[in-house]
Structure 1
């Protein structure tokens, strides 16, 4: 499944190959085009997603189609809801809540996904935590 806030953004249950990059300094604000990758608990991976990020103040980053991430200490967080595109076909609007957290230096973290409704073969209430990595786009 893919998170599709308005059927347009980041991957959900879309494990993705990790993109290796040098860590960024905590002084570097999130700004520009990033590649987001997720890896399922079973290692399953899907293609990476493009994240377009614009600063929105101190410790704030607007991630196109997903919402605003906020920096608390050395951890970015982003909460929201979205739809999913199922591998079997079909889209389900407002199917999930997501909670992203990632380290400001390494850009590694997790995304916890909770189904609000049955979608893509998973029941309402289903939860999954995927590994997350962000890297500046080449």
Structure 2
């Protein structure tokens, strides 16, 4: 029974991951090419928050109780986009730092180590 529940949950997770628009957008943002769009994507949290407030207002004015679930979904999507901005910003800084380190090490190896020798000479000259 537990295996059946686990299997259904896993399949539902992958269906949601593949077909939900916000998840597709966030997956695209979390790629190396999309990291620069993380902070502007935070602006998408605003329409979701407005839609949530509208749904809550409709429920309070004798609307259907099912709108509470829609409001919860809008709140969740809004929070996902708000969290994606700082997370992608940190990831972008890390990726750029790693790329700079790779460029520096490959430049030293491509020049046959001449870059490293030049840096050592500059350090020894600055000490004198």
Q: TM-score range by the shorter chain?
A: under 0.3
Is the radius of gyration larger for structure 1 or structure 2?
2
TM-score of the superposed pair, with normalisation by structure 2:
0.19
TM-score of the superposed pair, with normalisation by structure 1:
0.19
Q: Which has the higher helix share?
A: 2
Q: Which has the higher strand share?
A: 1
